[in-house]
Amino acid sequence: MTTDASDVPEPSAFVRRLPAGERLPMPADPVTAWETFPFEPFEGELRIKPLLPPVLPEPDRDGEAGTEDCVVCRKPVTDALWADDHWRLDAVGELRLPAVVLLQPRGHYDLGDLPAARSAELGPLLQRAERAVLAVDGVARVHVNRWGDGGAHLHFWLLARPAGLTQLRGMFLALWEELLPPVPEPERLRAHRRIAAALAAGGGTAYVR
């Protein structure tokens, strides 16, 4: 079976902007320098780093002591892309993928102490958030991640994987997010507006227009 050229989708503006075939420059703070990066150079190759001794007790995460120590709780709801009475969706720093957002409860909870009513809302809300991110032009998949090592306030990462960039599939999408060139500001704002509007269509308030 042959595929008509007219049936092949055009790459998105995000993908057309990337320097395909070229090696990307190393960022100022490369992932290879992260303490958690598991490899190190050795005789021109990579080898796995030795395991370090345990650090016990572990250092406190942001917000471990409660709301007064929590960066999420201190942020005005109007800083969010979208929010309702119990949840908020926030943009994340400098954008290098078509979209990267955080879904977080407005109350100060981690996953283990999330009230039953909020837990019941979580599954449907993650579905809504994924559909909202998929509404951004040129998004093929949305990776949903929860790590929780940096902050005690529950937060789910939703990272948009660009359509056609199969090199970015799987667990390394979060690393590529550190390496790709920044998204231009107008494109970033368009993506945020589309996500906020898509969520607000099902309830809650869009705070970016």
**Per-residue pLDDT tens over the stretch 49-79:** 999 999 999 999 999 999 999 999 999 999 9
pLDDT 10s digits, 134-165: 999 999 999 999 999 999 999 999 999 999 99
Is the pLDDT assigned to residue 6 strictly greater than 90?
A: no
Domains of the chain and CATH, by start:
22-206 (3.30.428.10)
Helices then strands, counting H and E runs in the chain, come out as 5, 8
| Phi and psi angles of residue 31, each rounded to the nearest 5 degrees, phi first | -65, -25
Banded pLDDT at 201 (limits 50, 70, 90): very high
Encoded amino acid at 59, one letter: P
pLDDT at 8: 76
Give CA–CA dist 137/140, Å, rounded: 9
pLDDT 10s digits, 165-197: 999 999 999 999 999 999 999 999 999 999 999
